[in-house]
A and B are shown apart, each in its own frame.
Chain A
Amino acid sequence: MKDDAREKMIVFEDVSKFYGEILGVNRVNLAIAPGITSLVGPNGSGKTTLMNLMTGLIQPTRGRVSILGVSPQDPQELFRHVGYCAQFDSFPKGLTGYEFVRSFLAVNGLSRGETERLAWRALERVDLVEAAHRKVAGYSKGMRQRVRLAQAIAHDPSVMILDEPLNGLDPMARAETIRLFRQLAREGLHLVISSHILHEVDMMSDCVVLLNYGYVVAEGDVRGVRDEMDEHPLEILIRCDRPAQLAARVFAEDHVVEARLHEDRRGLFVKTRDADHFYLLLNRVVLEDELRVESVAPVDDDLSAVYQYLIGTNGGGSG
């Protein structure tokens, strides 16, 4: 990869990490562009390992990681660009939320005035201004999550690494936080997020990296990943007035592998290996047979389906 491209991306080059004899991740090659990239996988799949490698909390056994061209082994340079909201739910003792955010801005070497300004702005962004002068030890889980998020975004990083950032947040706060992530992504930031709540990941991600047992099993935008899964034909539900007639027409096509009536008999599930051809066929049948179609929607092109096909479960926890 050219140096100027590397300076705009998060790059893993043949990265492996072993904890003694236990595999963390193996032979990972990734190039993560700006936008929201979600790391998805079951417990122990290597999500947190990848995040810790990006931030230098652990070092690769083999291979090389670079964040916008900076090595994680150079924290003074790296953390001018990177903010990491780790999963560890622990804090330095005795600090208020404001002191916590401000103190670590000061550790970055910023002036007093600057740390105060940035700390208040970050606390405002996560809606924690009112509780800012309370001790972190007295915060609820959701507030602790938000103050960690404030600390990670306070210095205006261009890369944010967020390990299960929605954990412990109530639905309102989740929606607000996702909105914040989207806004940051629109501003051109890299956001690398791990989450086990697949529909939220699906909603907010530009790109997903699916991990299992320390290996990257798929990466890309969800639809792109789904399209490449030839062994699992795409399932489409067509709601129409004569589904049996439609079934008879489409089943003759080679690329249609299954056609099944919906339980209410007002719809048809079709599994096809070639979605583009199927949609053309559907158009033709609708015109020729004068079918009344209410809706056409893929059933299994979302992240949950991709996850289930590739990893074999319905989603897991952190890893």
Chain B
Amino acid sequence: MSASVEAGAAGAGLGRLSWGLWRRQILAILRLEVKKNFWGRRALPIYLLAAVPVLLMFALTVLEPEAGRDIARDWGQANVIFANIYEGLILRTVVFFGCAWIFMNLFRGELVDKSLHYYFLAALRREVLVAGKYLSGLLTSIVLFSLTTGGALFLLYLARGYPANAEYFFEGPGLGQALDYLGVTALACVGYGAAFMVIGLFFRNPIIPALVAYGWEWINFLLPPVLKKISIIHYLHSLTPVPVPEGPFALVAEPTPAWVAVPGLLLVTVLVLALASVRIRRMEIRYGGE
């Protein structure tokens, strides 16, 4: 009986597409959630995590007196080193765990705090709640991790000095590479964000599935080509602007072209969000069981 109630309600809802109302509701959710994401007690670990690559680059390029000269002398090598830092530390670790923390807490955190029911008791479609929460996580993660990526790049350029940088940045490939890095970071937030939001909805203790996903993303370079494609990092890796010639981040298989990788990732994100919506529609509030 309850299944038929579900189906009936969903069917009735399709007839009333209130875009203006949903936009206002999403903005209201964004205001509440973004404030919480940036200033809530769960924000501190994210700030610390986001600062790690910037501090590392600061140590490598500013605190080490020889570093500036080395970077200026062999800019190509410096770019490859940064690509390794970006792929290994920023993308696979900081953005991965940062998104895990932000997006898994969007619902799981409210279940722990016993405050999710206030959203469930509003005149609000639960799909709209999913969209609002996801967008709040996305905004938070993109702002933070773009600052991380941009800050680390800035320190790399800083070590090289002004005239060489200006030429590389505005007349060479520098600006394009920087935008590519920022774009890949944003895309990583889009993909990982959706995945972790769903993990947070399906698992009472999402740490274990998050660690399994982390392992899967890390061993991606060892997997056969077909399995490589069942991951987010594979598509992000294909989009990074500076190829790494050797090591685990080297491109050994045929890279997925950007016109497939970007829409593909967005499509998968939409599907994952649809799954989250189905889950949230059926979710019951029983804090005692959390």
User: Which chain A residues have a beta carbon within 8 Å of chain B's beta carbons?
Assistant: 19, 52, 55-64, 71, 73-80, 83-84, 86, 88, 90-94, 103-104, 106-111, 151, 155
Contact (Cβ within 8 A) A59 B122: no
With A19-B286, A88-B117, A104-B118 as contacts: A94 and B13 at CB distance below 8 Å: no
A-B contacts, 16 listed (Cβ < 8 Å): A59-B2, A71-B12, A75-B121, A75-B124, A75-B125, A76-B124, A76-B128, A77-B123, A86-B121, A103-B31, A107-B119, A107-B122, A107-B124, A109-B21, A109-B22, A109-B24
B1–A63 CB distance below 8 A: yes
Q: Which of A60, A71, A109 interacts with B28 by CB under 8 Å?
A: A109
Contact status B121-A74, CB under 8 Å: no
Contact of A107 among B25, B114, B287 (CB under 8 A): B25
Can you name the residue of chain A whose Cβ is closest to the Cβ of B114?
Answer: A90
Q: Indicate if the CB atoms of A79 and B124 lie closer than 8 Å.
A: yes
Q: Hey, which chain B residues are within 8 Å of A19, CB to CB?
A: 286
Q: B1-44 interface mask toward A, CB cutoff 8 Å, 1 = contact, 0 = none?
A: 11001101100110010100110110011011001100111000
CA distance A86 to B6 in the complex (A): 23
Q: Given that A59-B282, A88-B114, A90-B114 are known contacts, is A75 also in contact with B126, CB under 8 Å in the complex?
A: yes
Asked if B246 is an interface residue, CB under 8 A from chain A, the answer is no
Q: How large is the interface on B (under 10, 10 to 19, 20 to 34, 35 or more residues)?
A: 35 or more
Given A19-B286, A71-B12; 12 other pairs, CB 8 A cutoff: A52-B285, A58-B286, A62-B2, A73-B6, A73-B9, A75-B125, A79-B124, A80-B123, A88-B117, A93-B41, A103-B28, A108-B123
- The answer to whether the Cβ of B115 comes within 8 Å of any Cβ in the partner chain is yes
Pairs A-B, 7 closest by C-beta atoms: A73-B9, A106-B28, A90-B114, A79-B123, A57-B285, A58-B284, A107-B122
When C-beta atoms are compared, the residue in chain B nearest to A110 turns out to be B24
Identify which of B5, B31, B113 contacts A90 (C-beta below 8 A).
B113
Asked if B9 contacts A94 (CB within 8 A), the reply is no
Measured between alpha carbons, how far is A61 from B5 in the docked complex, in Å? Answer: 11
Among A52, A83, A91, which residue has its beta carbon within 8 angstroms of that of B115?
A: A91
B32, B122, B284: the one contacting A57 at CB < 8 Å is B284
Q: B5, B18, B121: which contacts A59 (Cβ < 8 A)?
A: B5
Residues of B within 8 A of A106 (CB): 24, 28, 31
Q: Could you tell me which B residues sit within 8 Å of A by CB distance? A: 1-2, 5-6, 8-9, 12-13, 16, 18, 21-22, 24-25, 28-29, 31-32, 35-36, 39-41, 110, 113-115, 117-126, 128, 281-282, 284-287
CA–CA, A102 and B7, complex, Å:
32
Which residues in A have their C-beta under 8 angstroms from that of B25?
107-109
Report whether B2 and A75 are in contact in the complex, using a CB–CB cutoff of 8 Å: no
Given known A-B contacts A57-B120, A64-B1, A94 and B282 have beta carbons under 8 A apart: no
Q: Report chain A residues within 8 Å CB of B41.
A: 93
**Interfacial chain A residues near B21, Cβ < 8 Å:** 109
Q: Are A79 and B1 in contact (CB under 8 A)?
A: no
A71, A86, A94: the one contacting B39 at CB < 8 Å is: A94
For residue B99, give the distance in angstroms from its CB to the closest CB of chain A. Answer: 21
For A83, list chain B residues within 8 Å (CB).
Answer: 121
| Among B18, B117, B118, B121, residue most surrounded by chain A Cβ atoms (within 10 Å) | B121
Query: In the bound complex, what is the Cα–Cα distance between A80 and B118 (angstroms)?
Result: 14
Known: A86-B117, A92-B36, A104-B118. A76 touches B284 (CB 8 A): no
Report whether A71 and B8 are in contact in the complex, using a CB–CB cutoff of 8 Å.
yes
